[in-house]
Structure 1
Protein backbone atom coordinates (compact mmCIF):
# COMPACT_ATOMS: atom_id res chain seq x y z
CA UNK A 1 0.00 0.00 0.00
CA UNK A 2 1.26 3.48 -0.86
CA UNK A 3 -1.10 5.54 1.31
CA UNK A 4 0.64 7.55 4.06
CA UNK A 5 0.65 6.10 7.57
CA UNK A 6 -1.27 8.34 9.99
CA UNK A 7 -0.70 6.41 13.21
CA UNK A 8 1.26 3.23 13.88
CA UNK A 9 2.38 0.85 16.58
CA UNK A 10 6.00 -0.24 16.22
CA UNK A 11 7.15 -3.25 18.19
CA UNK A 12 4.51 -2.53 20.83
CA UNK A 13 3.91 -4.79 23.81
CA UNK A 14 1.34 -4.23 26.53
CA UNK A 15 0.11 -6.12 29.58
CA UNK A 16 -2.34 -5.12 32.26
CA UNK A 17 -1.08 -5.20 35.84
CA UNK A 18 0.00 -8.71 36.91
CA UNK A 19 -1.29 -10.15 33.63
CA UNK A 20 0.22 -11.67 30.49
CA UNK A 21 0.96 -9.66 27.36
CA UNK A 22 -2.20 -8.74 25.49
CA UNK A 23 -0.06 -7.72 22.52
CA UNK A 24 3.63 -8.49 22.09
CA UNK A 25 6.01 -6.95 19.55
CA UNK A 26 3.07 -5.70 17.50
CA UNK A 27 3.52 -3.70 14.31
CA UNK A 28 0.29 -2.11 13.11
CA UNK A 29 -0.49 0.86 10.89
CA UNK A 30 -3.54 2.93 9.99
CA UNK A 31 -3.19 4.33 6.49
CA UNK A 32 -4.81 7.49 5.22
CA UNK A 33 -8.12 7.09 3.43
CA UNK A 34 -8.49 3.35 4.04
CA UNK A 35 -11.64 2.27 5.89
CA UNK A 36 -10.35 -0.35 8.35
CA UNK A 37 -12.39 -2.95 10.26
CA UNK A 38 -10.97 -4.58 13.42
CA UNK A 39 -12.43 -8.00 14.13
CA UNK A 40 -11.83 -10.70 16.72
CA UNK A 41 -13.43 -12.67 19.51
CA UNK A 42 -14.10 -11.09 22.91
CA UNK A 43 -10.83 -10.78 24.79
CA UNK A 44 -8.75 -10.80 21.62
CA UNK A 45 -7.29 -7.35 22.30
CA UNK A 46 -9.41 -5.05 20.11
CA UNK A 47 -10.08 -2.59 22.92
CA UNK A 48 -6.43 -2.62 23.97
CA UNK A 49 -5.32 -1.97 20.40
CA UNK A 50 -7.74 0.95 20.01
CA UNK A 51 -6.65 2.51 23.30
CA UNK A 52 -2.99 2.17 22.39
CA UNK A 53 -3.62 3.93 19.08
CA UNK A 54 -5.56 6.76 20.75
CA UNK A 55 -3.29 7.30 23.75
CA UNK A 56 -5.57 5.82 26.40
CA UNK A 57 -2.91 3.22 27.19
CA UNK A 58 0.85 3.52 27.16
CA UNK A 59 2.92 0.67 25.70
CA UNK A 60 5.16 -1.31 28.01
CA UNK A 61 7.60 -1.60 25.12
CA UNK A 62 7.84 -0.20 21.60
CA UNK A 63 6.48 3.11 20.37
CA UNK A 64 3.39 4.77 18.96
CA UNK A 65 4.03 7.05 16.00
CA UNK A 66 1.55 9.70 14.82
CA UNK A 67 2.17 11.88 11.77
CA UNK A 68 5.74 10.59 11.66
CA UNK A 69 6.56 11.59 15.25
CA UNK A 70 7.01 9.28 18.25
CA UNK A 71 4.29 9.97 20.80
CA UNK A 72 5.40 11.30 24.16
CA UNK A 73 3.08 10.72 27.09
CA UNK A 74 3.21 14.15 28.62
CA UNK A 75 0.36 16.65 28.26
CA UNK A 76 1.74 18.19 25.08
CA UNK A 77 2.38 14.84 23.41
CA UNK A 78 -1.04 13.42 24.26
CA UNK A 79 -2.80 16.57 23.11
CA UNK A 80 -0.98 16.31 19.79
CA UNK A 81 -1.98 12.64 19.46
CA UNK A 82 -5.62 13.32 20.30
CA UNK A 83 -5.85 16.00 17.64
CA UNK A 84 -4.80 13.25 15.21
CA UNK A 85 -6.71 10.27 16.64
CA UNK A 86 -10.07 10.18 18.43
CA UNK A 87 -11.71 7.10 19.96
CA UNK A 88 -15.48 6.77 20.44
CA UNK A 89 -16.32 3.97 22.88
CA UNK A 90 -19.15 1.49 22.40
CA UNK A 91 -21.49 2.81 25.11
CA UNK A 92 -22.21 6.52 24.53
CA UNK A 93 -23.19 6.92 28.18
CA UNK A 94 -19.53 6.35 29.06
CA UNK A 95 -18.63 9.38 26.95
CA UNK A 96 -21.44 11.90 27.37
CA UNK A 97 -21.50 14.02 30.51
CA UNK A 98 -22.55 17.60 29.68
CA UNK A 99 -26.07 18.89 30.18
CA UNK A 100 -26.89 19.41 26.50
CA UNK A 101 -25.79 18.10 23.14
CA UNK A 102 -24.10 21.36 22.12
CA UNK A 103 -22.22 21.62 25.40
CA UNK A 104 -20.98 18.06 25.13
CA UNK A 105 -19.74 18.49 21.57
CA UNK A 106 -17.98 21.73 22.48
CA UNK A 107 -16.02 20.22 25.38
CA UNK A 108 -13.02 18.96 23.38
CA UNK A 109 -12.47 22.10 21.28
CA UNK A 110 -12.80 24.28 24.41
CA UNK A 111 -10.11 22.20 26.11
CA UNK A 112 -7.82 22.93 23.17
CA UNK A 113 -8.07 26.60 24.08
CA UNK A 114 -9.60 27.57 20.75
CA UNK A 115 -11.33 30.95 20.30
CA UNK A 116 -15.06 30.96 20.94
CA UNK A 117 -15.86 31.62 17.26
CA UNK A 118 -13.80 28.58 16.21
CA UNK A 119 -15.45 26.40 18.85
CA UNK A 120 -18.93 27.43 17.67
CA UNK A 121 -17.98 26.75 14.06
CA UNK A 122 -16.62 23.31 14.90
CA UNK A 123 -19.70 22.41 16.92
CA UNK A 124 -22.01 23.54 14.12
CA UNK A 125 -20.12 21.55 11.49
CA UNK A 126 -19.98 18.44 13.66
CA UNK A 127 -23.68 18.56 14.48
CA UNK A 128 -24.47 19.00 10.79
CA UNK A 129 -22.18 16.12 9.79
CA UNK A 130 -23.99 13.81 12.22
CA UNK A 131 -27.44 15.17 11.24
CA UNK A 132 -28.25 16.31 14.79
CA UNK A 133 -28.24 20.11 14.41
CA UNK A 134 -31.82 20.28 15.71
CA UNK A 135 -30.69 18.53 18.91
CA UNK A 136 -28.11 21.16 19.90
CA UNK A 137 -30.08 22.34 22.95
CA UNK A 138 -31.56 18.94 23.83
CA UNK A 139 -30.60 17.59 27.27
CA UNK A 140 -28.41 14.54 26.75
CA UNK A 141 -30.49 12.47 29.17
CA UNK A 142 -33.52 12.89 26.87
CA UNK A 143 -31.80 11.50 23.78
CA UNK A 144 -32.58 8.13 22.22
CA UNK A 145 -29.80 5.57 22.08
CA UNK A 146 -29.08 6.32 18.43
CA UNK A 147 -29.02 10.06 19.13
CA UNK A 148 -26.58 9.51 21.99
CA UNK A 149 -24.34 7.52 19.65
CA UNK A 150 -24.36 10.33 17.13
CA UNK A 151 -23.66 12.93 19.81
CA UNK A 152 -20.65 10.97 21.06
CA UNK A 153 -19.29 10.73 17.51
CA UNK A 154 -19.96 14.44 16.94
CA UNK A 155 -17.86 15.25 20.01
CA UNK A 156 -14.95 13.34 18.50
CA UNK A 157 -15.45 14.87 15.04
CA UNK A 158 -15.33 18.37 16.58
CA UNK A 159 -11.68 17.68 17.42
CA UNK A 160 -11.05 17.36 13.67
CA UNK A 161 -9.08 14.14 13.95
CA UNK A 162 -7.42 12.62 10.93
CA UNK A 163 -8.30 9.18 12.33
CA UNK A 164 -11.66 8.38 13.93
CA UNK A 165 -11.80 5.04 15.79
CA UNK A 166 -15.26 3.65 16.57
CA UNK A 167 -15.89 0.73 18.93
CA UNK A 168 -18.95 -1.25 17.73
CA UNK A 169 -20.71 1.89 16.42
CA UNK A 170 -23.72 0.00 15.01
CA UNK A 171 -24.34 -2.12 18.13
CA UNK A 172 -27.80 -1.48 19.55
CA UNK A 173 -29.06 0.36 16.47
CA UNK A 174 -32.04 -0.79 14.44
CA UNK A 175 -31.52 -1.42 10.70
CA UNK A 176 -32.55 2.11 9.74
CA UNK A 177 -30.23 3.57 12.37
CA UNK A 178 -27.37 1.44 11.07
CA UNK A 179 -27.91 2.60 7.50
CA UNK A 180 -28.06 6.25 8.56
CA UNK A 181 -24.85 5.88 10.55
CA UNK A 182 -23.05 4.21 7.64
CA UNK A 183 -24.14 7.05 5.36
CA UNK A 184 -22.78 9.52 7.91
CA UNK A 185 -19.45 7.70 8.03
CA UNK A 186 -19.22 7.85 4.25
CA UNK A 187 -19.72 11.60 4.48
CA UNK A 188 -16.93 11.88 7.05
CA UNK A 189 -14.63 9.81 4.86
CA UNK A 190 -15.44 12.01 1.86
CA UNK A 191 -14.39 14.96 4.00
CA UNK A 192 -10.97 13.42 4.63
CA UNK A 193 -11.42 11.52 7.90
CA UNK A 194 -9.94 8.03 8.01
CA UNK A 195 -12.33 5.72 9.89
CA UNK A 196 -11.41 2.60 11.88
CA UNK A 197 -14.29 0.44 13.13
CA UNK A 198 -14.15 -2.40 15.63
CA UNK A 199 -17.01 -4.83 15.01
CA UNK A 200 -18.12 -8.43 15.39
CA UNK A 201 -20.26 -8.13 12.27
CA UNK A 202 -18.34 -9.80 9.44
CA UNK A 203 -21.06 -8.94 6.92
CA UNK A 204 -20.83 -5.26 7.80
CA UNK A 205 -17.02 -5.39 7.62
CA UNK A 206 -17.08 -6.98 4.15
CA UNK A 207 -19.56 -4.39 2.90
CA UNK A 208 -17.97 -1.32 4.46
CA UNK A 209 -14.23 -1.78 4.88
CA UNK A 210 -11.34 -1.45 2.45
CA UNK A 211 -9.08 -3.40 4.81
CA UNK A 212 -9.70 -5.85 7.64
CA UNK A 213 -7.53 -6.72 10.61
CA UNK A 214 -8.27 -10.06 12.26
CA UNK A 215 -7.01 -10.45 15.81
CA UNK A 216 -6.05 -14.09 16.34
CA UNK A 217 -3.99 -15.91 19.01
CA UNK A 218 -1.07 -15.81 16.54
CA UNK A 219 -1.23 -12.04 16.08
CA UNK A 220 -2.97 -9.56 13.79
CA UNK A 221 -3.55 -10.36 10.12
CA UNK A 222 -4.20 -7.25 8.05
CA UNK A 223 -5.08 -6.97 4.36
CA UNK A 224 -7.80 -6.13 1.84
CA UNK A 225 -11.17 -6.95 3.41
CA UNK A 226 -12.44 -9.14 0.56
CA UNK A 227 -9.34 -11.35 0.77
CA UNK A 228 -8.90 -11.49 4.55
CA UNK A 229 -12.60 -12.21 5.15
CA UNK A 230 -12.56 -15.09 2.67
CA UNK A 231 -9.85 -16.92 4.65
CA UNK A 232 -11.73 -19.57 6.59
CA UNK A 233 -8.60 -20.51 8.55
CA UNK A 234 -8.08 -16.96 9.80
CA UNK A 235 -11.77 -16.49 10.53
CA UNK A 236 -11.83 -19.68 12.60
CA UNK A 237 -8.75 -18.55 14.53
CA UNK A 238 -10.48 -15.24 15.22
CA UNK A 239 -13.70 -16.95 16.32
CA UNK A 240 -15.68 -15.59 13.39
CA UNK A 241 -17.90 -17.09 10.71
CA UNK A 242 -17.64 -16.70 6.95
CA UNK A 243 -19.47 -13.57 5.71
CA UNK A 244 -22.61 -14.49 3.83
CA UNK A 245 -21.46 -12.24 0.96
CA UNK A 246 -18.39 -14.44 0.43
CA UNK A 247 -20.55 -17.58 0.51
CA UNK A 248 -23.07 -16.01 -1.89
CA UNK A 249 -20.31 -15.04 -4.32
CA UNK A 250 -19.02 -18.62 -4.30
CA UNK A 251 -22.52 -19.93 -5.00
CA UNK A 252 -22.98 -17.48 -7.88
CA UNK A 253 -19.60 -18.28 -9.44
CA UNK A 254 -20.27 -22.01 -9.24
CA UNK A 255 -23.42 -21.45 -11.30
CA UNK A 256 -21.85 -19.10 -13.81
CA UNK A 257 -23.75 -16.08 -12.54
CA UNK A 258 -20.61 -14.22 -11.43
CA UNK A 259 -17.33 -14.02 -13.30
CA UNK A 260 -14.03 -14.77 -11.60
CA UNK A 261 -12.66 -11.52 -10.21
CA UNK A 262 -16.04 -9.81 -10.31
CA UNK A 263 -17.19 -8.38 -6.98
CA UNK A 264 -19.87 -10.38 -5.27
CA UNK A 265 -23.03 -9.02 -3.62
CA UNK A 266 -22.55 -7.16 -0.35
CA UNK A 267 -26.23 -6.87 0.62
CA UNK A 268 -29.31 -9.11 0.18
CA UNK A 269 -30.68 -6.48 -2.20
CA UNK A 270 -27.60 -6.79 -4.42
CA UNK A 271 -27.92 -10.58 -4.42
CA UNK A 272 -31.60 -10.39 -5.38
CA UNK A 273 -30.73 -7.99 -8.18
CA UNK A 274 -28.03 -10.27 -9.58
CA UNK A 275 -30.28 -13.31 -9.56
CA UNK A 276 -33.24 -11.40 -11.01
CA UNK A 277 -31.06 -10.03 -13.82
CA UNK A 278 -30.30 -13.57 -14.95
CA UNK A 279 -33.99 -14.41 -15.26
CA UNK A 280 -35.18 -18.01 -15.78
CA UNK A 281 -31.91 -18.90 -17.53
CA UNK A 282 -30.05 -18.29 -14.27
CA UNK A 283 -31.98 -20.90 -12.31
CA UNK A 284 -30.37 -24.10 -11.13
Structure 2
Protein backbone atom coordinates (compact mmCIF):
# COMPACT_ATOMS: atom_id res chain seq x y z
CA UNK A 1 0.00 0.00 0.00
CA UNK A 2 1.48 3.34 -1.06
CA UNK A 3 -1.16 5.62 0.48
CA UNK A 4 0.17 7.83 3.29
CA UNK A 5 -0.53 6.88 6.90
CA UNK A 6 -2.88 9.39 8.53
CA UNK A 7 -3.19 7.86 12.00
CA UNK A 8 -1.10 5.15 13.62
CA UNK A 9 -0.78 3.36 16.93
CA UNK A 10 2.78 2.17 17.60
CA UNK A 11 3.55 -0.41 20.28
CA UNK A 12 0.31 0.53 22.02
CA UNK A 13 -1.06 -1.39 25.00
CA UNK A 14 -4.18 -0.75 27.03
CA UNK A 15 -5.89 -2.29 30.04
CA UNK A 16 -8.95 -1.08 31.91
CA UNK A 17 -8.57 -0.49 35.63
CA UNK A 18 -8.13 -3.75 37.55
CA UNK A 19 -8.50 -5.74 34.32
CA UNK A 20 -6.20 -7.69 32.00
CA UNK A 21 -4.65 -6.13 28.93
CA UNK A 22 -7.17 -5.67 26.13
CA UNK A 23 -4.53 -4.78 23.55
CA UNK A 24 -0.78 -5.39 23.84
CA UNK A 25 2.12 -3.99 21.81
CA UNK A 26 -0.26 -3.06 19.02
CA UNK A 27 0.80 -1.55 15.70
CA UNK A 28 -2.15 -0.30 13.65
CA UNK A 29 -2.42 2.13 10.74
CA UNK A 30 -5.19 4.03 8.98
CA UNK A 31 -4.14 4.95 5.46
CA UNK A 32 -5.52 7.89 3.55
CA UNK A 33 -8.32 7.17 1.11
CA UNK A 34 -8.76 3.49 2.01
CA UNK A 35 -12.12 2.25 3.28
CA UNK A 36 -11.21 -0.02 6.18
CA UNK A 37 -13.50 -2.61 7.78
CA UNK A 38 -12.61 -3.58 11.34
CA UNK A 39 -13.87 -7.05 12.26
CA UNK A 40 -13.60 -9.37 15.24
CA UNK A 41 -15.57 -11.28 17.85
CA UNK A 42 -17.14 -9.53 20.84
CA UNK A 43 -14.43 -8.77 23.36
CA UNK A 44 -11.67 -8.69 20.74
CA UNK A 45 -10.89 -5.04 21.43
CA UNK A 46 -12.64 -3.28 18.51
CA UNK A 47 -14.24 -0.59 20.67
CA UNK A 48 -11.03 -0.05 22.64
CA UNK A 49 -9.05 0.27 19.41
CA UNK A 50 -11.48 2.83 18.00
CA UNK A 51 -11.36 4.89 21.18
CA UNK A 52 -7.56 4.80 21.20
CA UNK A 53 -7.49 6.01 17.58
CA UNK A 54 -9.88 8.87 18.35
CA UNK A 55 -8.31 9.98 21.63
CA UNK A 56 -11.12 8.81 23.90
CA UNK A 57 -8.63 6.49 25.58
CA UNK A 58 -4.89 6.92 26.07
CA UNK A 59 -2.47 4.02 25.57
CA UNK A 60 -0.89 2.71 28.75
CA UNK A 61 2.32 2.28 26.74
CA UNK A 62 3.30 3.11 23.21
CA UNK A 63 1.67 6.01 21.44
CA UNK A 64 -0.61 7.49 18.83
CA UNK A 65 0.62 9.59 15.92
CA UNK A 66 -1.16 11.76 13.35
CA UNK A 67 0.78 12.07 10.09
CA UNK A 68 3.89 10.94 11.90
CA UNK A 69 3.61 13.48 14.73
CA UNK A 70 3.03 12.07 18.24
CA UNK A 71 -0.28 13.04 19.81
CA UNK A 72 -0.12 14.91 23.10
CA UNK A 73 -3.09 14.60 25.43
CA UNK A 74 -3.28 18.24 26.46
CA UNK A 75 -5.99 20.56 25.11
CA UNK A 76 -3.99 21.58 22.05
CA UNK A 77 -3.03 18.03 21.15
CA UNK A 78 -6.53 16.63 21.59
CA UNK A 79 -8.06 19.47 19.55
CA UNK A 80 -5.64 18.67 16.74
CA UNK A 81 -6.53 14.98 16.97
CA UNK A 82 -10.30 15.56 17.01
CA UNK A 83 -10.16 17.80 13.97
CA UNK A 84 -8.44 14.88 12.21
CA UNK A 85 -10.30 11.87 13.64
CA UNK A 86 -13.94 11.59 14.69
CA UNK A 87 -15.64 8.54 16.23
CA UNK A 88 -19.38 7.87 15.94
CA UNK A 89 -20.52 5.30 18.51
CA UNK A 90 -23.00 2.51 17.78
CA UNK A 91 -25.97 3.88 19.74
CA UNK A 92 -26.82 7.42 18.57
CA UNK A 93 -28.59 8.11 21.86
CA UNK A 94 -25.17 8.00 23.54
CA UNK A 95 -24.05 10.88 21.33
CA UNK A 96 -27.10 13.15 20.90
CA UNK A 97 -28.02 15.55 23.68
CA UNK A 98 -29.05 18.93 22.22
CA UNK A 99 -32.66 20.01 21.77
CA UNK A 100 -32.67 20.10 17.96
CA UNK A 101 -30.76 18.50 15.11
CA UNK A 102 -28.98 21.71 14.06
CA UNK A 103 -28.00 22.49 17.66
CA UNK A 104 -26.55 19.03 18.10
CA UNK A 105 -24.57 19.17 14.86
CA UNK A 106 -23.20 22.61 15.77
CA UNK A 107 -21.78 21.48 19.12
CA UNK A 108 -18.35 20.40 17.87
CA UNK A 109 -17.64 23.43 15.66
CA UNK A 110 -18.78 25.77 18.44
CA UNK A 111 -16.32 24.08 20.83
CA UNK A 112 -13.55 24.84 18.35
CA UNK A 113 -14.29 28.53 18.87
CA UNK A 114 -15.13 29.11 15.20
CA UNK A 115 -16.96 32.26 14.08
CA UNK A 116 -20.74 31.99 13.84
CA UNK A 117 -20.68 32.14 10.05
CA UNK A 118 -18.22 29.26 9.84
CA UNK A 119 -20.28 27.20 12.30
CA UNK A 120 -23.44 27.76 10.26
CA UNK A 121 -21.62 26.80 7.06
CA UNK A 122 -20.33 23.58 8.62
CA UNK A 123 -23.74 22.66 9.99
CA UNK A 124 -25.42 23.28 6.63
CA UNK A 125 -22.72 21.26 4.86
CA UNK A 126 -23.03 18.31 7.28
CA UNK A 127 -26.82 18.28 7.17
CA UNK A 128 -26.72 18.27 3.38
CA UNK A 129 -24.09 15.51 3.31
CA UNK A 130 -26.31 13.28 5.47
CA UNK A 131 -29.49 14.28 3.61
CA UNK A 132 -31.18 15.65 6.74
CA UNK A 133 -31.38 19.38 5.93
CA UNK A 134 -35.16 19.22 6.30
CA UNK A 135 -34.69 17.97 9.87
CA UNK A 136 -32.57 20.92 11.06
CA UNK A 137 -35.18 22.25 13.49
CA UNK A 138 -36.62 18.86 14.45
CA UNK A 139 -36.34 17.99 18.17
CA UNK A 140 -33.89 15.12 18.49
CA UNK A 141 -36.31 13.13 20.67
CA UNK A 142 -38.80 13.03 17.77
CA UNK A 143 -36.35 11.48 15.29
CA UNK A 144 -36.57 7.92 14.04
CA UNK A 145 -33.67 5.60 14.79
CA UNK A 146 -32.22 6.03 11.31
CA UNK A 147 -32.55 9.80 11.54
CA UNK A 148 -30.76 9.76 14.89
CA UNK A 149 -27.94 7.72 13.32
CA UNK A 150 -27.60 10.28 10.52
CA UNK A 151 -27.64 13.18 12.98
CA UNK A 152 -24.87 11.61 15.06
CA UNK A 153 -22.75 11.14 11.93
CA UNK A 154 -23.52 14.70 10.80
CA UNK A 155 -22.17 15.98 14.12
CA UNK A 156 -18.88 14.22 13.40
CA UNK A 157 -18.83 15.35 9.74
CA UNK A 158 -19.27 18.99 10.85
CA UNK A 159 -15.80 18.75 12.39
CA UNK A 160 -14.49 18.07 8.86
CA UNK A 161 -12.33 15.16 9.98
CA UNK A 162 -9.95 13.44 7.62
CA UNK A 163 -10.78 10.11 9.28
CA UNK A 164 -14.32 9.11 10.25
CA UNK A 165 -14.61 6.01 12.47
CA UNK A 166 -18.03 4.36 12.72
CA UNK A 167 -18.98 1.66 15.21
CA UNK A 168 -21.58 -0.68 13.63
CA UNK A 169 -23.22 2.15 11.66
CA UNK A 170 -25.76 -0.09 9.88
CA UNK A 171 -26.90 -1.92 13.03
CA UNK A 172 -30.61 -1.44 13.63
CA UNK A 173 -31.31 -0.01 10.18
CA UNK A 174 -33.73 -1.60 7.72
CA UNK A 175 -32.37 -2.52 4.25
CA UNK A 176 -33.39 0.83 2.71
CA UNK A 177 -31.78 2.72 5.58
CA UNK A 178 -28.58 0.69 5.17
CA UNK A 179 -28.41 1.46 1.46
CA UNK A 180 -28.98 5.16 2.01
CA UNK A 181 -26.27 5.26 4.67
CA UNK A 182 -23.80 3.40 2.44
CA UNK A 183 -24.53 5.86 -0.37
CA UNK A 184 -23.80 8.70 2.05
CA UNK A 185 -20.53 7.12 3.14
CA UNK A 186 -19.61 6.75 -0.52
CA UNK A 187 -20.18 10.47 -1.04
CA UNK A 188 -18.07 11.31 2.00
CA UNK A 189 -15.27 9.13 0.66
CA UNK A 190 -15.41 10.83 -2.73
CA UNK A 191 -15.11 14.18 -0.98
CA UNK A 192 -11.87 13.05 0.67
CA UNK A 193 -12.89 11.53 4.01
CA UNK A 194 -11.21 8.27 4.98
CA UNK A 195 -13.77 5.94 6.58
CA UNK A 196 -13.17 3.14 9.09
CA UNK A 197 -16.16 0.92 9.91
CA UNK A 198 -16.38 -1.64 12.69
CA UNK A 199 -18.87 -4.33 11.77
CA UNK A 200 -19.78 -7.97 12.35
CA UNK A 201 -21.24 -8.21 8.84
CA UNK A 202 -18.62 -9.90 6.67
CA UNK A 203 -20.81 -9.58 3.57
CA UNK A 204 -21.06 -5.83 4.08
CA UNK A 205 -17.30 -5.60 4.68
CA UNK A 206 -16.55 -7.48 1.44
CA UNK A 207 -18.91 -5.29 -0.54
CA UNK A 208 -17.93 -1.94 0.94
CA UNK A 209 -14.30 -1.97 2.08
CA UNK A 210 -10.95 -1.75 0.34
CA UNK A 211 -9.13 -3.34 3.27
CA UNK A 212 -10.09 -5.49 6.25
CA UNK A 213 -8.47 -5.66 9.67
CA UNK A 214 -9.27 -8.91 11.49
CA UNK A 215 -8.72 -8.76 15.24
CA UNK A 216 -7.34 -12.15 16.23
CA UNK A 217 -5.87 -13.32 19.55
CA UNK A 218 -2.39 -12.81 18.07
CA UNK A 219 -3.19 -9.25 17.00
CA UNK A 220 -4.77 -7.48 14.02
CA UNK A 221 -4.16 -8.81 10.54
CA UNK A 222 -4.76 -6.24 7.81
CA UNK A 223 -4.80 -6.47 4.02
CA UNK A 224 -7.00 -6.21 0.91
CA UNK A 225 -10.52 -7.16 1.88
CA UNK A 226 -11.07 -10.07 -0.53
CA UNK A 227 -7.74 -11.66 0.39
CA UNK A 228 -8.28 -11.28 4.13
CA UNK A 229 -11.86 -12.57 4.07
CA UNK A 230 -10.75 -15.64 2.09
CA UNK A 231 -8.45 -16.72 4.95
CA UNK A 232 -10.53 -19.31 6.75
CA UNK A 233 -7.82 -19.70 9.40
CA UNK A 234 -7.96 -15.99 10.29
CA UNK A 235 -11.75 -15.89 10.08
CA UNK A 236 -11.94 -18.78 12.56
CA UNK A 237 -9.57 -17.00 14.95
CA UNK A 238 -11.63 -13.81 14.67
CA UNK A 239 -14.93 -15.66 15.23
CA UNK A 240 -16.23 -14.85 11.75
CA UNK A 241 -17.78 -16.86 8.93
CA UNK A 242 -16.83 -16.96 5.25
CA UNK A 243 -18.58 -14.16 3.33
CA UNK A 244 -21.23 -15.13 0.80
CA UNK A 245 -19.30 -13.47 -2.04
CA UNK A 246 -16.10 -15.38 -1.30
CA UNK A 247 -17.96 -18.71 -1.24
CA UNK A 248 -19.65 -17.83 -4.56
CA UNK A 249 -16.29 -16.88 -6.10
CA UNK A 250 -14.73 -20.17 -5.03
CA UNK A 251 -17.64 -22.13 -6.50
CA UNK A 252 -17.54 -20.21 -9.80
CA UNK A 253 -13.82 -20.83 -10.16
CA UNK A 254 -14.13 -24.52 -9.26
CA UNK A 255 -16.76 -24.89 -11.99
CA UNK A 256 -14.63 -23.05 -14.55
CA UNK A 257 -17.08 -20.16 -14.75
CA UNK A 258 -14.66 -17.50 -13.51
CA UNK A 259 -10.99 -17.08 -14.36
CA UNK A 260 -8.58 -17.12 -11.45
CA UNK A 261 -7.46 -13.56 -12.18
CA UNK A 262 -10.99 -12.15 -12.54
CA UNK A 263 -12.56 -10.41 -9.52
CA UNK A 264 -15.35 -12.33 -7.86
CA UNK A 265 -18.82 -11.02 -6.99
CA UNK A 266 -19.10 -8.96 -3.83
CA UNK A 267 -22.90 -8.88 -3.76
CA UNK A 268 -25.88 -10.77 -5.24
CA UNK A 269 -26.19 -7.94 -7.76
CA UNK A 270 -22.59 -8.52 -8.86
CA UNK A 271 -23.33 -12.23 -9.32
CA UNK A 272 -26.44 -11.53 -11.37
CA UNK A 273 -24.50 -9.13 -13.61
CA UNK A 274 -21.68 -11.65 -14.00
CA UNK A 275 -24.01 -14.44 -15.02
CA UNK A 276 -25.89 -12.14 -17.42
CA UNK A 277 -22.68 -11.10 -19.21
CA UNK A 278 -21.86 -12.65 -22.62
CA UNK A 279 -20.48 -16.16 -22.06
CA UNK A 280 -16.73 -16.52 -22.42
CA UNK A 281 -16.48 -19.90 -20.71
CA UNK A 282 -15.30 -23.01 -22.55
CA UNK A 283 -17.90 -25.29 -24.12
CA UNK A 284 -18.07 -28.64 -22.26
CA UNK A 285 -16.45 -31.57 -24.08
CA UNK A 286 -19.80 -33.37 -24.40
CA UNK A 287 -21.60 -30.22 -25.60
Same fold (TM over 0.5): yes
Large movers: runs of 4+ above 3 Å? 276-279, 281-284
**Aligned position for 1:34:** 34
**TM-score with structure 1 setting the length:** 0.97
Judged with a 3 Å threshold, the aligned counterparts in structure 2 of structure 1 residues 180 and 282 are, in CA distance, closer, same or farther, namely farther
- 2:253 is equivalent to residue 253 of structure 1: yes
Judged with a 3 Å threshold, the aligned counterparts in structure 2 of structure 1 residues 257 and 118 are, in CA distance, closer, same or farther, namely same
Matches for 1:227-238 after TM superposition, within 5 Å: 227-238=227-238
Q: How much has 1:277 moved relative to structure 2?
A: 3.6
Q: How much has 1:68 moved relative to structure 2?
A: 2.0
CA contact (8 A) 1:162 1:192 kept: yes
**Aligned position for 2:73:** 73
**Cα distance between partner residues in 2 of 1:59 and 1:121:** 35
**Aligned position for 1:64:** 64
SS of the residue corresponding to residue 25 of structure 2 reads: strand
Judged with a 3 Å threshold, the aligned counterparts in structure 2 of structure 1 residues 275 and 10 are, in CA distance, closer, same or farther, namely same
Q: How much has 1:170 moved relative to structure 2?
A: 0.3
SS of the residue corresponding to residue 234 of structure 1 reads: helix
**Cα distance between partner residues in 2 of 1:121 and 1:278:** 49
Q: How much has 1:273 moved relative to structure 2?
A: 2.6
**Cα distance between partner residues in 2 of 1:160 and 1:283:** 55
CA contact (8 A) 1:257 1:278 kept: no
**CA RMSD across the alignment:** 1.4
Matches for 1:1-284 after TM superposition, within 5 Å: 1-277=1-277
For structure 2, list consecutive stretches of 5 or more residues without a partner in the other structure: none
SS of the residue corresponding to residue 178 of structure 1 reads: helix
Q: How much has 1:255 moved relative to structure 2?
A: 1.6
**Cα distance between partner residues in 1 of 2:250 and 2:190:** 31
**Cα distance between partner residues in 2 of 1:143 and 1:114:** 28
| Number of aligned residue pairs | 283
**Cα distance between partner residues in 1 of 2:265 and 2:238:** 23
SS of the residue corresponding to residue 13 of structure 1 reads: strand
CA contact (8 A) 1:275 1:282 kept: no
Q: How much has 1:282 moved relative to structure 2?
A: 9.4
**Cα distance between partner residues in 2 of 1:227 and 1:273:** 22
